[in-house]
Amino acid sequence: MYLASDNTGPIHPQIMEALTEANQGYALPYGNDPFNHRAVTAIRELFEAPQAEVFFVPTGTSGNALALSTLCQPYQSVLCTPVAHIHEDECGAPEFYGVGKTYLVGEGDLMDPDALAVLLRELAEGGVHTAQPGAVSITSVTERGQVYEIDRIQSLATIAHSAGLPLHLDGARFANAAAALECTPAEMSWQAGVDVVTFGGTKSGCMGVEAVIFFNSDRARGFAPRRKRAGHLFSKNRFLAAQMLGYVKNDLWRTLGAAANARGQYLAEAMCMDMRIQWPYAPRANMLFPKLPRSVLQNLATSGVAFNNWGNRDIGSPDEMLLTRFVCDWSIPYQDLDQFLAVLRTA
């Protein structure tokens, strides 16, 4: 049972079909293919943003780092939360791509507007001695499974814009967040003040593709050569574009986001009955972050369930509660979930 991440599942058939369709005959390389044009148009329509600049890249890390380095000067910082993927899980990709530093806003996974305002004031005092902020970056679904309400995004955007900073949304799980909010992509992004979105496909049924969307095309200046020199401009770019076409067609993206969320909610509801479990984060989408006793996790691990936890599972008090992550992708069968729940009950 694969509950470790939503990148363990298969490619959705509709996306495989799109790849097969794109494989007919010849096409110009490096984005000069008709599929790229069609996919850009499809993204603009989906986001109701006809002027947006849209680029396709193969991974979330490349999308985030290219977007942020395009937004910032190399002597500037990006502000994010302490658990942000760009800070904790990308091996320093933003700094490598040219962001000066990451500075952390408050605690927790949902950025607090007040904490952002305070940090902005403190950094401004630093003058040339501190890497002045160049952008604010948030993630939804967050790295702890929560979803930003639209009004919180608006508050953060207002503060960022007041300081002259763009707001970036790491949308590796944009589909899950939008499905949870039951909102349109536009409502969750530019209408709430987001300037740049990394719109993820990889974790939601694609082989490997993300769309980086700049709602103000001026901000996109330099993205194209940055993508090239990073080795992320695919010569056979048509196969990135085709995935995105398949993902957007007939709102497959939303269907898959909702399917994954439904499985997450199914698990969460069943596990809520289990009094051994603590819930520091309320599950909103397809990821659960409960705390469980070490002894339970040890038993789970030997039952063949793939999952993540923080802290040493093997050594320590059996009663210690460890933060744990269970992720459902769109494809995982409900009988697998039932089987997991059965294992958990006896673990």
CB of 156 to its own copies, least distance (A): 22
Q: Which is nearer to its own copies, 19 or 277 (CB)?
A: 19
- Calculate the dihedral angle through the C-alpha atoms of 213, 215, 217, 219, rounding to the nearest 10 degrees: -80
CB of 229 to its own copies, least distance (A): 4
User: How many Cβ atoms are within 10 Å of 291's Cβ, its own excluded?
Assistant: 19
Task: Determine if 201 is a binding residue for its own copies (CB under 8 A).
Answer: no
Structure tokens at 34: 């008709």
Task: Determine if 181 is a binding residue for its own copies (CB under 8 A).
Answer: no
* Cα(187)–Cα(157) distance, integer angstroms: 13
CB of 219 to its own copies, least distance (A): 14
Task: Determine if 244 is a binding residue for its own copies (CB under 8 A).
Answer: no
The conformation of residue 83, written as its DSSP 8-state character, comes to T
CB of 46 within 8 A of CB of 185? yes
Which of 57, 147, 194, 258 is close enough to bind its own copies by CB under 8 A?
Answer: 57
Which of 56, 148, 215, 234 is close enough to bind its own copies by CB under 8 A?
Answer: 234
# chain residues binding its own copies, by CB under 8 A: 75
Task: Determine if 205 is a binding residue for its own copies (CB under 8 A).
Answer: no
CB of 99 to its own copies, least distance (A): 8
CB of 65 to its own copies, least distance (A): 6
Q: Rounded to 5 degrees, what are φ and ψ at 301?
A: -65, -35
Which of 131, 136, 138, 180 is close enough to bind its own copies by CB under 8 A?
Answer: 131
Task: Determine if 37 is a binding residue for its own copies (CB under 8 A).
Answer: no
Q: Which is nearer to its own copies, 67 or 160 (CB)?
A: 67
Task: Determine if 150 is a binding residue for its own copies (CB under 8 A).
Answer: no
CB of 198 to its own copies, least distance (A): 11
Task: Determine if 246 is a binding residue for its own copies (CB under 8 A).
Answer: no
Burial of 319 (0-12, 13-18, 19+ CB in 10 A): exposed
Considering only the stretches 74-82, 160-168, 289-297, 339-347, report the one whose residues sit in contact with its own copies under the rule CB under 8 A: 74-82
Q: Which of 116, 282, 330, 327 is nearest to 340 (CA)?
A: 327
278 Cα distance to chain centroid: 25
Residues 286-345 that bind its own copies (CB under 8 A): 306, 310, 312
Q: Which is nearer to its own copies, 113 or 200 (CB)?
A: 200
Task: Determine if 136 is a binding residue for its own copies (CB under 8 A).
Answer: no
CB of 164 to its own copies, least distance (A): 14
Task: Determine if 5 is a binding residue for its own copies (CB under 8 A).
Answer: yes
Which of 73, 162, 217, 302 is close enough to bind its own copies by CB under 8 A?
Answer: 73
CB of 173 within 8 A of CB of 285? yes
Query: In one letter, which amino acid is 331?
Result: S
- b/e per residue, 100-128, with b = 16+ CB within 10 A? bbbbebeebbbbbbebbbebbeebeeeee
Task: Determine if 4 is a binding residue for its own copies (CB under 8 A).
Answer: yes
- Beta carbons within 8 Å of 310's beta carbon, 6+ residues apart: 322, 323, 324
* Cα(214)–Cα(206) distance, integer angstroms: 21
End-to-end CA gap in the chain: 15
Task: Determine if 162 is a binding residue for its own copies (CB under 8 A).
Answer: no
Binding mask 99-128 for its own copies (x = CB under 8 A): -xxx------------------xx--xx-x
Tell me the CA distances in angstroms from 187 to 170, 177, 182, 249, one per residue in order: 15, 12, 10, 20
CB of 333 to its own copies, least distance (A): 11
